[in-house]
Structure 1
Amino acid sequence: MIEPTTTTRAAARIDWNSGTARSLRKKRYAADRRLRFYGIAAISIAVLLLGILLTSLVSTGYLAFVQTHVTMDVAIDPEQVPVDNPAEGNYRAIVADAVQRLFPDIDGRSELRNAVGIVTNGAQVMLRNQVISDPSLIGKTFSIQVPVSDPYDQLYKDVIDRDLPENRRRLNDEQIALFETLEDRGLIEAKANWALLFNADSRFPELAGLAGAIVGSFYALLLCFVISFPVGIAAAIYLEEFAPKNRWTDLIEVNINNLAAVPSIIFGLLGLAVFIQVFGLPRSAPLVGGLVLALMTLPTIIIVTRNSLKAVPPSIREAALGIGASRHEVILHHLLPLAIPGILTGTIIGMAQALGETAPLLLIGMNAFLTSPPGGIMEPATSLPTQIFIWADSPERGFVSRTSAAILVLLGFLILMNAIAIYLRSKLERKW
């Protein structure tokens, strides 16, 4: 027979229905309820703040996904555009003539200037490119749709209040009357703004796009992945499987962990001092941006890879060694295949973090104004975060909505990369 312990005998003497016991239970239940409340409140506050952020971005940025266009008839006179060299044509005069045909009653120069101001300043470039790509248009009259300039785009989207006094808006009564004439004739139309994704940057908000920034970010991230992924995995394998455990390897591990917490601007200063000033690599190039982002991502990949290797059950390593496999066969054929889901997840999350970095890219000059996407990793480029920084600093009203739209595009890429990480983890994950 088992003798009851002192604790058991004491518990047996407790009266669980006494007032003291009920008071203790009440306090514990109240503490549990408070803890649940704090947790729900914290989640609610986080969701509320996220909702406020997304609502602010969407309410401001959706305007940039739509662009106002005007339809007008353009006559390409062979006297203004030489057949043998269409690029030398007087397209400014052609656009002015087309606008004047929209308003046949205009006589004064000031009124004509106001009418021409409805059309974007890039209309002549768009028309020239169209004629160069199709010289058969010379001598013909055809209809084209071109974006209106930013003030009229804001007017059509009701950002500019037409009921405000004339001295409090960007457009005077005469300019608004001209635009309303085109609206009444059905020549004004709002269309999906694909130029936001397929145009490069421009001084004119109605023509500015993210193509250059997207291509620049792609080159920088591609170079970052090519460098950081194999180097990070190789370093993690050596530290975890081959390196002796002594104070030198302990020092290396501590420094790797510290590097993962170093502010990103420090890596930008390193890239500026070493890659540009010492090695003479071109400023603003995706090559330098990719090298800087690779240095930032390396500690994360090393830490994630080591943790993924540690998560593999020791029995798998021991079983492989027991049947005669060598160390490198154990690593390549057993440990890495089982650790690859965690490695890929950590790598993609590290790349997503690199995609959103701004400070180091600003320091190495990846914020140049470029009217065409870069053609390679050695050409000047910008990136999505630095493009957002440039637009946010622009005084034109049209760049306000485009800044929010660019942030939404960046968030879309980040969500996509995280979704890929989650899919790969669920697809490749193995349970023991």
Structure 2
Amino acid sequence: MDPYTSFQVPTGDRPKFTGKKLVMLAPDASMKNIDAEAAGAALRLAPSGAYRSHEEDYLKAFEEGDGIVFEKFRVAVINANHEEQIKSLVYAGRSFRYEEPERFLYALDAPRSSNFGVLLWQMICRLFGIKKDGPVTDPGTKPKDPPPVSPPVFENTVEAYWGLHALNALSTSYTGKGVKLAVLDTGMYLAHPDYAAREVVSKSFIQGETVDDAHGHGTHCAGIAVGGVRGDNGRRYGTASDAGLYVGKVLSNEGVGSDSSILAGMEWAVEQGCRVISMSLGASVEENTAYSNIYNELAGTAMDMGTLIIGAAGNDSRRSQGIVRPVNHPANCPNILAVAALDRRSAVADFSCGGLNPDGGLVDIAGPGVEVFSSWKLPQEYAIISGTSMATPFVAGVAAQLLEAFPEATAREIWDKLVAQARALSLPTRDAGAGLVQSPQ
């Protein structure tokens, strides 16, 4: 079967908000005080721990009460039609600090044809002497761009697919052994033959759906992060092949989730001891839009607990048409490592979002993201797709390698090492951050 696969939910048809509210709680607020204050406003909020032991039960908190409190992150999610109660609780200024609308989030992917667009644009630039960035204006708030260097070109070989050569992964002895890595996505096709000998810890946070991936996106991302070799030819496609794989299904089989399912998956991953969380999901944002303070705070809390969150920058750009769009939510949060996508010629992918918003929203690093081979749901077994979704698990896999090399390092130190060891490219930091992610040597 042809391994090339393209899929994309039309962005114009995607709803943005669920109607629920996220509320940030005071870090020292006890559940007793939260319960008492909520009850005073005629709200019943359930602690996430009461639902944690049952598959797919987190959403029951919204059916049996008015919302849920994710205890580790001190974030509440409250049902729609309680705006006045929430305002009164926030105004009181005790346990309830501020609120944001709950968003829908989506699997981030890009059509295969997007690579043609960037190649065409590069050819036009060479013919007419146009700068590669086209008419897009630089906001002037990012670090100085790196000096020009010759862009490397990577190819598939009998040993491995091109993305691993881009990482220089075949030259390292680190495989992520002993490191727990979580992929929060559409789940995973657990019966895939390449993972028959692997232990996979999994949990679904989508009511009515098991963790099995009927979409394909999550299986592809998991394979990039921690997969091994292709069963029929022995060619390697996974980055940290010995890392512990934790799969949280936070997006449905249609590739759609909400902040509630994402927060549930993140809390679960932290509780499981995962040092790295890979999230190839997001929601589009406009220019000059502020990042989510709630996600930024909880990502900072996760780092304090030892967990690094890595997110996809998004695929809204059409660079071949001179259009660059801002980094998506939640990767636009300063405490989430935002990953852009490159092709095998070390050029920025046509679809890859850029660091346009001065208040957060920067691209931190880049990874392989155009025509990337990895595992897929059966019967196809494998697919070659494109997106910042593919670049993100490459970076997550390298983070696991670094944690094997530096097991006592903090999450912030691993972030710094990823950035410091990236391969410098002749690309604006707005588009590729520190450069191409590299495995530790």
What range describes the TM-score normalised by the shorter chain of this pair?
Answer: under 0.3
Greater strand percent: which structure? 2
In the superposition, the TM-score normalised over structure 1's length comes to: 0.19
Rg bigger for which structure? 1
